[in-house]
Homo-oligomer: A and B are copies of this chain.
Amino acid sequence: MSTSSQSYPMSGGEDLHSYIHNSSYQKAAIDSLQEKRRLYILEKIDLLSLKTGLSTFTIADFGCSVGPNTFHAFLVCFNDQPNNDFNTLFRTQPPSSEREYFSVGVPGSFYGRVLPRNSIHVGHTSYTIHWLSKVPEHVCEKKSPAWNKKYIQCNNLIEEAAKAYKIQFTKDMSTFLEARAAEIVPGGLMILQGQCLPDGVLMSETWEGIVIDTIGDCLMDMEKSELISEEKLESFSVPIYFPQFSELKGEIEQNGSFAIELMQTISHPFQDMHLTNDFTTSTFRAIFSSVIEKHLLSFLADLRFFCLQIFQIFI
């Protein structure tokens, strides 16, 4: 029952910089699929109900973070790393008298088993699997051919580093699917929602990739200004990998535990909107402050100042 992995929780609490108040981009994508997801779940549960006669259904949200969408009329299992801010999650749920589902928190990395065999009817995960279980091996080792130099993400400029990221993604995806296959009942449903790249598009060509590269550039500037050491910068990369569409599909097929019933690209509701500097800064701060804090610690206090400065130059 091993679920060991590095863990970088979204910013907890309910303050100005918390994930709960800075995740509207992710929420908009989740909301846009609400009706489709609801129908899929109901259809699957009808089938299972006919087959098994069960009257209580269990839904698990893997990588729930803080302030997820909620479901109705079930036992809902909210899973995230043990250092996720479950206190805020529980305190911000509707009171039990106003909801028609029971709710539990499940601490543990979803890159491993977190629930008993055949205990879940519907699994759900949203904006999560691009977080690898750890920074790929050798990417932060100066002597390795996979060393990512002063870059902080998989930007495809160093072929061996890109390979290491891909290998880690393949391993993690396989672990994720095997764990879920054990936890979800035969005939159950797994909904996997998130971001992958269109085939042939590189991360560095997307706006999110550009923002992360800009944070990387900022760190390089800070190193030049001697605010952080060269060594710190050279051993820092983020454990994030966005697979291309066919790459994700390939992993699911290769694993073989699940049959793909539907796989489609949707447009993000904010796609054609102008995202303000403040919005972008706050969103990425809520996502990255924990991973940056863990590696660079003292640097955190300067982060907001620097991010704002960057975006003013950048946008």
CB under 8 Å from chain B, chain A span 91-122: 91, 93, 95-97, 99-100, 102-109, 112-119
Instruction: Determine the chain B residues whose CB is within 8 A of the CB of A2 once the complex forms.
Output: 96-97
Return the CB mask of A1-45 against B: 1 if under 8 Å, else 0.
111100000000000000000000000000000000000000000
**Residue A90 at the chain B interface, CB threshold 8 Å:** yes
C-alpha spacing A56/B116, complex, angstroms: 7
**Are the C-beta atoms of B114 and A102 separated by less than 8 Å?**
yes
Decide: A96 and B3 in contact? CB cutoff 8 A: yes
Let me know if A82 and B75 touch, CB within 8 A: no
Cβ B104 vs Cβ A104 within 8 A: yes
A105, B86: Cβ atoms under 8 Å? yes
Interface size counted on chain A using CB atoms at 8 A: 37
Instruction: Provide the A36-66 mask, 1 if CB < 8 A to any CB of B, else 0.
Output: 0000000000000000000110000000000
Contact indicator B119/A75 (Cβ below 8 Å): yes
> With A82-B93, A119-B75 given, is the CB distance from A1 to B100 under 8 Å?
yes
Residue of B nearest to A95 (CB): B4
Q: How many angstroms between the C-alpha atoms of A260 and B74 in the bound complex? A: 32
Task: Please tell me if A85 contacts chain B, counting CB pairs below 8 Å.
Answer: yes
Residues in B whose Cβ lies below 8 Å from that of A106: 102-105
Report whether B77 and A117 are in contact in the complex, using a CB–CB cutoff of 8 Å: no
Leading 8 A-B pairs by shortest Cβ distance: A105-B105, A90-B107, A56-B116, A104-B104, A3-B96, A2-B97, A82-B90, A86-B86
